[in-house]
Amino acid sequence: MMHNLKFLAAAAALVFACGCASERSGQFVPKVAFTFDDGVAEHYDTVAPILEKYGFRGTFNVIVDSVDRKKGSVTWAQLRDLDRRGHAIENHTLTHPNLAKMAESNDLAGVEREVTLSRDIIASNVGRAPTFVCYPFGAWNAATECAVRDSWQKPMCPCRRNFGEGYAPGDVTRYIEECIEKKQGIVDLMCHGVSANGGGWKPFATPEIFESYVKEVKELADRKLVKVVLYRDCEIY
Ligand SMILES: [Zn+2]
């Protein structure tokens, strides 16, 4: 009898560790990734501390040529620190061009350079090679897919939803519920800026509103309706 109890306790612990103990037992639990594009300075100053306050980590897709150079961009020292704190640095190309248009005009060498040189520069500056390429403007085609995979990276799925400008309470909860309904396995919550003058595209009006958005996801995660992970870990869970 004692043996059986021990077995049951171990099995329960295992279910808990797997994150399968949804309040809707046995139901589909999507993986949610917070992603941040373009390497805006406030990703380091504001976004990362807010995510960490709720126990989350983010995926930061950087434009390699802008890092350390463009005003209002993150620095390599900051990206190394984010990596050390458990966040992920991924590849948003060298200069943020429309890769599909480049490929259509037969500039395949340019496409290759945009995804491979950026990969190498991230690897040498951060100490970890990126796993994913995030397509600028969500623009891709068969040739860009080949270039990304030939560089031993994977393309991020372009089915992402930007949150920021015009955000109202409940928006992200409703969106995730729609994704659960559709059995969408990976939910990419994209964001650029978190303050009106921070330089990001279509930003949240204030960091406080961004924090309320993170809190909404935290409530869903606490109820085990979603699991929040780095984008690169979505496929593992
Ligand atoms: Zn971008």
Residue 61 CA to ligand 1 centre (angstroms) = 8
Instruction: Fill in the amino acid letter for 192.
Output: H
Taking the centre of ligand 1 as the mean of its atom positions, its distance from the CA of residue 201, in whole angstroms, is 8
| C-alpha to C-alpha distances, 176 to 31, 102, 114, 236, nearest whole angstrom | 10, 34, 32, 20
- Alpha carbon of 92 to ligand 1 centroid (Å): 7
In angstroms, what is the span from residue 50 Cα to ligand 1's centroid? 22
According to the model, what pLDDT value does residue 23 have? Answer: 52
Q: Report how far ligand 1's centroid is from the alpha carbon of 130 (Å).
A: 16
CATH code of 22-233, in short, is 3.20.20.370
pTM: 0.89
- Residue 64 — pLDDT band, cuts 50, 70, 90? very high
Phi, psi for residue 107 in degrees, rounded to 5: -90, 65
Ligand 1 center to 220 CA (angstroms): 28
pLDDT digits (tens, 9 = 90+) for 125-157: 999 999 999 999 999 999 999 999 999 999 999
Sequence spans of domains, the chain: 22-233
Nearest-angstrom CA–CA distance, 45 and 186:
27
Residue 64 Cα to ligand 1 midpoint, Å, equals 11
CA of 119 to the centre of ligand 1 (A): 16
Q: What number is the average pLDDT over the span 102-123?
A: 98
Tell me: the pLDDT tens digits for 154-187? 999 988 999 999 999 999 999 999 999 998 889 9
How far apart, in whole angstroms, are the C-alpha atoms of residue 16 and residue 42? 35
Q: What's the CA-to-centroid distance between 97 and ligand 1, angstroms?
A: 9
pLDDT digits (tens, 9 = 90+) for 198-225: 999 999 999 999 999 999 999 999 999 9
Lowest mean pLDDT among 12-26, 37-51, 60-74, 200-214: 12-26
